[in-house]
Each structure stands twice: as structure tokens, then as C-alpha cells.
Amino acid sequence: MSLFTQKFHRIISYFSFWMRSTNQHGVHSPFVYSMVTQCFYKKNTPESRNQIRKFIHTLLEDKHRITVKNLRRNSTILPAQKRPIKVITKKTGIPLKQALLLNRLTTYIGTTNALELGTSVGIGSASICLSNSDVKLTTIENCPETTLVAQSYFDRFDITNAYIRKDGFQSFLNSLSKETYDLIFLNVHQEEKETLSYIDQLIHHTHNDSIIILNDIYRSKEMTRAWINILQNPKVTLSIDTYHWGIIGFRKEQAKEHFCIRV
């Protein structure tokens, strides 16, 4: 898919989302209403907000260049070549608003065991771990130099509860046994088929109150198609579309329902 086609798809998808979406006043599920009012629309603590903002700001000022090993097929984001860390952060890192929401979600659902596929330079990991000292995060990244950058920033910001595993996503998933996670963050840009395969496998490592967050569900037609396909999975009882993210849950006491929420 060309860059122009991707941008056009994003624009059309955004207007469609805006027409379908609502705020807390259009939510009739008590569980989702509580999540929207007590998490989505709640402010972060000053400590977590300042730490996350500083983490991202420091990355955006980092001029050191690294070689990014691009594992994504047909990627239009970053070709495999030397790039400044600040450019990688701008192009592939999650924005501050989403980072703050990820931090709040981690706290809200009482996360103790989390998984991230796609560490990149570590913004997602930092968002999960900062001010959430009870969380143990396993984060997966297969680019050696990017892994080193993320670890250096974890050390710099005293993030001791994030554990980077340098591995391919499929290789890591194949190695899992009976582990379960409260929160799983798919911070990846993969093909439709790969994304669906990851979800099918990851569902086996969730419990009744787990959530899986898919980043950038309107990045391309293929990713949006994958998201729509995931909604049909009978094990998915709760789904929330925030435009930037797709969030799915598995609560057996929840009647299958889908929400589009403006955040």
C-alpha cells in the first residue's frame, strides 16, 4: 500500500469513526462507563505525567544514529538504514496522549503481569511501568540496536520492572507455555495475516479480566480489516474502538458488545 493510499484511508476512517463514536453519555454498559469515566477521561498523577513527558522529550532530543533492522514487510515507515533516535521516536513512538492513557489503563485494571510486542525505543514500556511498580512487563524487540537504546533509557529513568527479550514475535509466542497476562500491548506494524495469527495465539494467554490493545488499527486497509475480523472472534466479548487503538476483552459476564469512544 502506498503512502498516499494509507493517508487517504486514515482520513476516511477518521471521519467514519467520528460519526459513529460517542463519549460516556452514550455508554450503557456499567463496566465500560466506569472505564471511560474513571480511566479514559481521568488525569494521570502529576508524577507519572511528568515522568512520561520527560521520557518522550529526551528521546525526541537524542541525535545519536542507529541502524534499524526492519522486520516489517512492505513497510513505508522506516527503511533499514541509519536513523537518528529522535526520528525513530517521532515516526514509530506512541504520542504523549496515548502514552498517558496506556499508563492510566495499566493502573486501572490492576495490572501485575504485562506483555508488549514491539518495544521500539521504549515509550510503550515506560508508559506501562512508570508509577506502576507492581507491574512486571515483558517486552519483545528483535532489532539489536533498538533494544540497546530502549534498555539504556530504562536504566536512565530507573525502570527496573521492564524486561526486554530480543526475539522475533512468532518465536516468542511459540515459546510460551501457560503464562497469562493482564494487559497485552501489540505495538506492531505487521501484515493482516500475521496480526490475526498473533491474536489467536495471545488469547490463550489471557484470563477473564485481561485486555489486549492493538495499536494503530486504521494504519492501513489491511490492519482495519484485521481489526474487523478480530471483533468476530467468539472469545471476544468486549471491544472498544478509540480510533488510534482497538481494545478487546474477554469477560464472560459481559454480553458481546462493541463501543466507539472518543478519547
Supply the mean pLDDT for the chain.
92
Torsion of CA 16, 18, 20, 22, to 10 degrees: 170
Around Cβ 61, how many Cβ atoms within 10 Å? Answer: 10
- Residue 69 pLDDT grade (very low, low, confident, very high; cuts 50, 70, 90): confident
DSSP 143: -
* Lowest pLDDT segment from 136-150, 179-193, 233-247: 179-193
pLDDT above 70 (res 71): no
More confident residue, 77 or 30: 30
Give residue for cell 528483535: 142
Rounded Cα distance between 67 and 99, Å, is: 25
Q: Where do the DSSP E strands lie in the chain?
A: 65-67, 82-84, 113-117, 136-141, 162-166, 183-186, 211-215, 238-241, 245-249, 257-260
Cell of 53: 513527558
CA–CA dist 123, 157 (Å, integer):
12
DSSP string across 201-255? HHGGG--TT-EEEEE-TTSSHHHHHHHHHHHT-TT--EEEE-SSEEEEE--TTSP
Min mean pLDDT across 2-6, 53-57, 104-108, 112-116 is at: 2-6
CA-nearest of 64, 62, 92, 66 to 78 is 92
User: What phi and psi values does residue 257 have, to the nearest 5 degrees?
Assistant: -150, 145
Domain ranges for the chain: 3-260
Distance of CA 156 to the CA centre of its chain: 22
Give tens-digit pLDDT for 197-252.
999 999 999 999 999 999 999 989 999 999 999 999 999 999 999 999 999 999 99
Predicted local distance difference test score (pLDDT) of residue 73: 47
Which residue(s) pair with 238 in the sheet?
A: 249, 257
Average pLDDT over residues 175-195: 91
pLDDT for residue 79 = 56
pTM: 0.93
The predicted model gives 115-143 an average pLDDT of 96
Residue 113 or residue 82, greater confidence:
113
| Res 173 pLDDT > 60 | yes
Sign of the dihedral through C-alpha 205, 27, 129, 126: positive
Phi then psi for residue 62, to 5 deg, are -80, 115
Residue 2 has pLDDT above 80, yes or no: no
**What's the CA gap between 168 and 165, in Å, rounded?**
9
Burial label for 217, CB within 10 Å (0-12, 13-18, 19+), is buried
Q: C-alpha dihedral over 175, 191, 203, 239, to 10 degrees?
A: 160
Architecture of the domain made up of 3-260: 3-Layer(aba) Sandwich (3.40)
